[in-house]
Amino acid sequence: MTYSELYQKSMAEPLAFWQEQAQAIDWYRFPKKILSQDRHGLWRWYADGLLNTCYLALDRHVQAGRGEQTALIYDSPVTQTLERYSYRQLQDETARFAGVLQQMGVKKGDRVIIYMSLVPQVVVGMLACARLGAVHSVVFGGFAAHELALRIDDAKPKVILTASAGIEFDKIIPYQPVLENALREARHKVKTCIVLQRPVHKWQLKAGRDHDWLQVQASAQPVDPVPVKATDPLYILYTSGTTGKPKGIVRDNGGHAVALRFSMRYIYDTQPGEVYWAASDVGWVVGHSYIVYGPLITGCTTVLYEGKPVRTPDAGAFWRVISEHQVKTFFTAPTAFRAIKKEDPEGLFKEKYDISCLKYQFLAGERCDVATLEWAQQLLGVPVIDHWWQTESGYPMLANPAGVELLPIKPGSAGKPVPGFDIQMLDENFESQPAGVEGAVCIRLPLPPGCLPSLWKAPDRFKESYLSAFPGYYFTGDGGYVDADGYVFITGRIDDVINVAGHRLSTADMEEIVATHPAVAECAVVGVLDSLKGQVPVGFVVLKSGVQVSEKQVQEELAAMVRERLGAIACFKQAVVTKRLPKTRSGKILRKIMRHLAEQKPFSPPGTIEDMAVLEEMENLMADHHIGAWQQEAKAKPGS
């Protein structure tokens, strides 16, 4: 079957299509009601089906005679640890830890917050919650106390699972001070914490509240999976909200399992027994979908990597893991490749390893600039596939479906719509735009299985945030266009479009151009206020290691490049060299906050930021270069 045939089938007969895909997983009761609406008028998939996600991920593989296959490889260069867990071992640990949670009073529907580093126990904790029908909410280890407190108050967990510390390169990050501050700040009071004591740092256990993970697990009795409804929540994953209150993205059990099994087969072309590696963290949706649930439901071997693309120990870290564990399909963010490119622009570290096992390289998490894509293609010699999705969707909405047919790769495009997603580019009149014309990227309702059905305890907020701007559609918040061949190009968040003297221009387009400069390792272009033109673009660039070039030369060359490609209307005249860009811990550049800094507007630093000090550095940089509002201040000074 071709991609076009599969996609058209999903559009023409969606109920039959998703009923057929549901047969790829095991159910306690196969659903008869494929699609329905709940009391809030929101769409739900497989409402009368019964299943258990932990059973799908572990028990059924053991029962099928594949218990000795490796389920999980834990590779931690920061602790010099390598461990392998078979499906039988992972099932046993999970069943016993589910017994621990049960002893602590956790039952179906209760919430458990997981605040941990990237260790095997975080996977055990997630699966143990799923085994009981409890709802887990993973909070990225190292999040600020205030952000953790907000999530505690919203989810109201019965138990918190945590570890004594995380590790960033060679830096030990104790978690206890953060958690203690969060517990003091939170209105909801948590009586039970289960702590994994890591050798690098010990947690001072509080009597009556804290329990040693390994001790309580050693004496626990295993429990069997609890059947749950397909529409029961599996997890809550919080993402930033415009009001300052995080949005609790809900993922159900049934649609989630069907969608991930479908994606592993049709998008990633990964079969049971093969090795799949997503270099992410379980604190993000990629880790949920493609470190834990997707590979394990499929019966793959998944890699849990506690390290970085560089400095653990060098820019060859990824290639070692791929070679050593025989990874077939690898998934990471473009920012990882930019980090490698900065440290090893010639790709010399790769030559130390045999990575002939690698068949596909997938990129997502942020827009992939053409320069990075082409560099990765040349380095790896395998298809480098950009694809696009969100925390809200849970799996790709745009992709090159390697498991159906590998379509020609168009640099700059995230591929074609994944079956089930009716993607339209709409204008302000809700009209679908023709090929080549940019619009708001929207998805016709109902969304396919696996996407968020609502926000945690906030159906009205869900409707207002996602469904109100374009009636009958889910609004992604991104802009883009479709070309004549059906490939979709995501140009960036709608608020990344700036208005320069009446001309609407995409800062994403400018970033594409800036990134091609041979001295530039990483960049961000943001629009700042200008008294004459309304807005003007300013580029911030990180240079490659060892490059000897003046800031003035870089600025002149970049301005000339943008002028040549976009024309003088772009008014790109200022480029500032910086040592680093402000990012979230998942690697996304905080462009909106950069705009706020330039405009001297107040903002709340997100708990997702990698390093708070970089914001002060960026603010000083803008002041020194008289960017945005700082320019007006400079002009107002006597003698300016």
Distance CA 567, CA 560 (A): 9
Residue the block writes with tokens 């462009």: 591
- CATH class entry, domain 3-307+387-481: alpha beta
Q: What is the DSSP string of 134-192?
A: -EEEEEETT--HHHHHHHHHHH--SEEEEESEEEETTEEEESHHHHHHHHHH-SSPP-E
pLDDT band for position 632 (50/70/90)?
A: low
- Packed helices 591-599 and 613-624: angle between N→C axes, nearest 10 degrees: 50
Q: What is the mean pLDDT of residues 557-586?
A: 85
* Residue 357: alpha-carbon gap to chain centroid: 25
b/e map of 444-478 (b: 16 or more CB within 10 Å)? bebbbbbbbbbbbebbebbeebbbebbeebbbbbb
Tokens standing for residue 276? 């799949």
Q: What is the mean pLDDT of residues 461-489?
A: 96
- pLDDT on residue 242: 47
- pLDDT on residue 269: 98
DSSP state of 74: E
Residue the block writes with tokens 């205030």: 146
Other C-beta atoms closer than 10 Å to the C-beta of 377 total: 15
CB 301 within 8 A of CB 270: no
Handedness of CA 175, 180, 185, 191 (dihedral sign): positive
The count of residues in the chain is: 640
Average pLDDT over the chain reads 92
pLDDT band for position 640 (50/70/90)?
A: very low
Other C-beta atoms closer than 10 Å to the C-beta of 70 total: 17
Distance CA 583, CA 608 (A): 8
CB-count burial class (<10 Å; 0-12, 13-18, 19+) for 9: middle
* pLDDT value at 496 more than 80: no
What predicted TM-score, i.e. pTM, was given to this entire model? 0.85
Residue the block writes with tokens 């058209």: 8
Residue scoring higher pLDDT (286 or 631): 286
Report which of 87, 100, 90, 193 is spatially closest to residue 148, judged by C-alpha positions: 193
For the chain, percent of residues with pLDDT exceeding 90: 77
- The string of pLDDT tens digits covering residues 296-355 is 999 999 999 999 999 999 999 999 999 999 999 999 998 899 889 999 999 999 999 999
Distance CA 254, CA 406 (A): 28
- pLDDT on residue 633: 66
CB 582 within 8 A of CB 594: yes
Three-class secondary structure of residue 384 per DSSP: strand
Q: What is the mean pLDDT of residues 223-231?
A: 98
Architecture of domain 501-636: 2-Layer Sandwich (3.30)
- The string of pLDDT tens digits covering residues 233-253 is 999 999 865 445 789 999 999
- The string of pLDDT tens digits covering residues 409-468 is 999 999 999 999 999 999 989 999 999 999 999 999 999 999 999 999 999 999 999 999
* pLDDT value at 502 more than 70: no
Amino acid at 22: A
CB 259 within 8 A of CB 288: no
Least confident of 450-454, 481-485, 561-565, 574-578: 561-565
- The string of pLDDT tens digits covering residues 342-401 is 999 999 999 999 999 999 999 998 778 888 999 999 999 999 999 999 999 999 999 999
pLDDT band for position 507 (50/70/90)?
A: confident
Residue scoring higher pLDDT (16 or 573): 16
Report which of 499, 519, 520 is spatially closest to residue 511, judged by C-alpha positions: 520
Q: What is the mean pLDDT of residues 159-188?
A: 94
- The string of pLDDT tens digits covering residues 116-144 is 999 999 999 999 999 999 999 999 886 77
Q: Where in the chain is the domain with CATH 3.40.50.12780?
A: 3-307+387-481
Q: Where in the chain is the domain with CATH 3.30.300.30?
A: 501-636
CB-count burial class (<10 Å; 0-12, 13-18, 19+) for 160: buried
| Alpha carbons within 13 A on the beta-carbon side of 398 | 33
- pLDDT on residue 638: 54
